[in-house]
Structure 1
Amino acid sequence: MQTEKKEILATAVGRRKEAVAQVQLLRGTGEFIINNKSANIYLNNNSCSLLALKAPFNVLQNLEILTESNQIDTIVKVQGGGLIGQAEAIKLGVARALCQIEVSGSETTDLIRKSFKDQGYLTIDARVKERRKYGLKKARKASQYHKR
């Protein structure tokens, strides 16, 4: 089996909670591959997660910058966290990578970035699990106070 080298359009990293996603956009047929599996298989056909992954591409189609998402293959390596955290990390990585794609005219690049910002695709959600403190059972859960 011979694999041909595809042109890498952009690379980016997305993070959410413990999940880290490395995203590559290539010229191709529109495949979305996560950890060498199809996105449907990897995300267990979770429709909400699948729609979240495709959302940045839909924005470009609405702006009529990207005529078809079939022109771009998306290859993702993701590790850490759960499926929802991974899906959100992938969404951020895809949006960042799409901002890097060379499009004719600098005003269109600014338009892409502005539309992604307005819809919240480039906003980093920095919430992480709070660490456990000594003397407590969990981060904030303490044993019951007794007066006498």
Structure 2
Amino acid sequence: MEDRYYATGRRKESIAKVWITPGEGQITVNNKNLDTYFGRPTAEMIVRQPLVLTETLGSFDIRATVLGGGLSGQAGALRLAVSKALLGSDPELRLPLKKAGFLTRDPREVERKKYGRRGARRRFQFSKR
């Protein structure tokens, strides 16, 4: 059996499951090519960041399943999962990935809406008369 590494990543409401195998650098997200799935150059750049940093851009095939949230959260979750999977393939990559902050889960979540208000913090318009 060939080497295959699995990892999960989360950001906001998104969950990414990633399998990486040695290959020629194809990235597939939900059975679609990376650029057709995201369609945004910034999201594609975010996903590729750990590969560019560790200089493994053309050496792994990545197959990912992403669910929940929006495109930005999905890209962040995918970046974390790819970083964790790369760590599984080569523990020497831990230091550069950690320094770049790619192994830290972004804890920011949307604040819940409060009762008696229009949103989490927004008040209704004040009327003096």
Q: Same fold (TM over 0.5)?
A: yes
Q: Match for residue 132 of structure 1?
A: 113
Q: Does 1:70 align with 2:58?
A: yes
Give the CA deviation at 1:136.
1.3
Residues 20, 80 of structure 1: 8 Å contact kept: yes
Q: Does 1:82 align with 2:70?
A: yes
Q: Does 1:54 align with 2:48?
A: yes
Give the CA deviation at 1:143.
2.0
Give the CA deviation at 1:147.
6.5
Q: Match for residue 18 of structure 2?
A: 23
Alignment of 1:115-126 (within 5 A): 115-126=96-107
Give me the whole-angstrom Cα distance separating, in 1, the residues matched to 2:58 and 2:99. Answer: 25
Aligned-pair Cα RMSD in Å:
1.8
Give me the whole-angstrom Cα distance separating, in 1, the residues matched to 2:41 and 2:125. Answer: 42
AA aligned to 1:7 is: E
Unaligned runs of 5+ in 1: 1-5, 104-108
Aligned residues: 129
Q: Identify which of 1, 5, 8 aligns with 1:13.
A: 8
Give me the whole-angstrom Cα distance separating, in 1, the residues matched to 2:53 and 2:24. Answer: 19
Give the CA deviation at 1:7.
2.9
Unaligned runs of 5+ in 2: none
Give me the whole-angstrom Cα distance separating, in 2, the residues matched to 1:114 and 1:55. Answer: 15
Question: TM-score, structure 2 length as denominator?
Answer: 0.90
Give me the whole-angstrom Cα distance separating, in 1, the residues matched to 2:44 and 2:127. Answer: 50
Give me the whole-angstrom Cα distance separating, in 2, the residues matched to 1:36 and 1:8. Answer: 21
Give me the whole-angstrom Cα distance separating, in 2, the residues matched to 1:15 and 1:116. Answer: 17
The structure that has the greater radius of gyration is 1
